[in-house]
Amino acid sequence: MGTSDQHSDVLDKARSTVVSTIKNADAGLRKVNKALHEHPEVGYEEHFAHQTITSYLSSLGFQVKKHAYGFDTSFEAEYGSDGRLVIICAEYDALPGIGHSCGHNLIATSSIATFIAVAESMKKHNIQGRVRILGTPAEEGGGGKAKLIEAGAFPKDTATAIMAHPIAAHQIFNKPGYYQGLAGLKLIASHKFKVEFRGKPAHAGGEPWNGLNALDAAVSAYANIGLLRQQMEPDERVHGVIEAGGTVPNVITEYTRMNWNVRSPTIERADKLLARVKNCFEAAALASGCKLEYIISPTYLNLRANRTLCQLYAQDMDTLGTKVQVSQEKMMNASTDMGNVSHIVPSFHGAFVIPAGKDVSAHNPAFAACAGTDEGHKAALNCASGMAMLALRVLLDDDVARKAKEDFHQDDD
């Protein structure tokens, strides 16, 4: 690698290339964004999104691996042949019934824009390294990235993994308006699982004593956890729904199924809380005489913020004319499978503000409309410029890559 002055000169030229590349791609990116927004798909069923994104990347001349790592709706494309590897993560799944109310259409758009801008800059300015875009399905509870980690999609020598999420300003800032983004988003750990209670059917009027009521077990478990909440830490969360609760009232319910999240700021605390929550289910099973079974989904680890990567991103966004807060004052009580990635390679997970009312935030149905606005699209592309510059810094500068790795091996604040 060259000297610091040479790095600065190349980065200045690359910045111009990044901005012009994203500007020139705006029309195509807008079509992709709109298409995804109008065709929301839940985790592992993102077939339309998979086809839309891979077709767009192919049209730009990239060799795209469809159905990557054995997952129907994952994909991968790469530019460069040697040197450090930067992975850009793209999400594109939606929520059942309320569409893109978490704005993953914007995540996909910003990640695609980042990838093509980095690739063009590498090509034009002879920057060594590899940039890869990785399609990561099923972030909303399906643990796509956790499963991709197991499949080898994130090599341990990865220099950094990068992505960003749309957000309403009031969710993270005490004084919305000044900052238009956050570099160091921090989210908590989450155990995700389903609980099945199996009882015995009987006539609810004629001989209820011959039945074992699985609905009673579910209701008891829900009540037990409601009582447990009084003894939980303020920054912990347990929440669930009854997905299957019986059929008709005159038949003792034979089968019920519940879906639960158990969240805490660290995985160690989440494990302890999970043990207490399981006591609630086991007590319900014992009291009702029903059998208890668990269906386990991938656990989401807490999202770590890398100080070096966050500071550089904020600096580049400032140069581009956007004020970004470097670090979060307190953890946000939500979770992501990008947290798992942040525990195996240096990672950046920022947030960019899109217009939303004070009573509208992610996972609110009205947020889906916000994610489909021109202003949201513009914010996603603006964020992409900063992420592209961050990726280029990691590829170009040995010191940046080294410091990011050092921060990764230290506990984050």
* Tokens read off for 401: 């890559």
Whole-Å CA distances, 133 to 112, 116, 247, 380: 7, 9, 46, 16
Look at residue 59 in the predicted model and tell me its pLDDT.
Answer: 98
Domain borders along the chain are 3-187+303-409, 195-300
Name the architecture of domain 3-187+303-409: 3-Layer(aba) Sandwich (3.40)
CA distance 336 to 350: 12
Look at residue 331 in the predicted model and tell me its pLDDT.
Answer: 83
DSSP-based three-state secondary structure for 296: strand
Q: What does pTM read for this prediction?
A: 0.94
Whole-Å CA distances, 281 to 6, 46, 245, 291: 62, 33, 15, 10
What does 108-157 look like in DSSP terms, one character per residue? HHHHHHHHHHHHHHHHHHT--EEEEEEE----SSS-HHHHHHHTT-S-TT
* Tokens read off for 239: 């929440």
Residues 6 or more apart whose Cβ sits within 8 Å of residue 410: none
Q: For residue 35, how many other CB atoms are within 10 A of its CB?
A: 16
Please check whether the domain covering 195-300 is classified as CATH 3.30.300.30: no
Look at residue 173 in the predicted model and tell me its pLDDT.
Answer: 81
Look at residue 329 in the predicted model and tell me its pLDDT.
Answer: 78
Look at residue 413 in the predicted model and tell me its pLDDT.
Answer: 45
Q: E strand or H helix at 28, and its extent?
A: helix 26-38
Look at residue 176 in the predicted model and tell me its pLDDT.
Answer: 67
Whole-Å CA distances, 300 to 94, 140, 321: 18, 11, 34
pLDDT-flagged residues of the chain (< 70): 1-6, 176, 411-413
CB distance 84 to 159 below 8 Å: yes
CA distance 333 to 52: 32
Look at residue 143 in the predicted model and tell me its pLDDT.
Answer: 96
CA distance 402 to 308: 10
Residue with tokens 């070096």: 308
CB distance 346 to 309 below 8 Å: yes
Burial class (CB in 10 A: 0-12, 13-18, 19+), 57: buried
Per-residue pLDDT tens digits for 342-389: 999 999 999 999 999 888 989 999 999 999 999 999 999 999 999 999
Look at residue 382 in the predicted model and tell me its pLDDT.
Answer: 98
Per-residue pLDDT tens digits for 173-224: 877 678 999 999 999 999 999 999 999 999 999 999 999 999 999 999 999 9
Amino acid at residue number 10: V
Catalogue the long-range contacts made by 47-53 (C-beta closer than 8 Å, 24 or more residues apart). 47/72, 47/73, 49/73, 49/92, 49/93, 49/108, 50/74, 50/75, 50/92, 50/135, 50/137, 53/90, 53/92, 53/108, 53/112, 53/135
Look at residue 8 in the predicted model and tell me its pLDDT.
Answer: 82
Region at 366 (left for phi over 0; alpha for psi -120 to 50; beta for the rest): alpha
Look at residue 1 in the predicted model and tell me its pLDDT.
Answer: 42
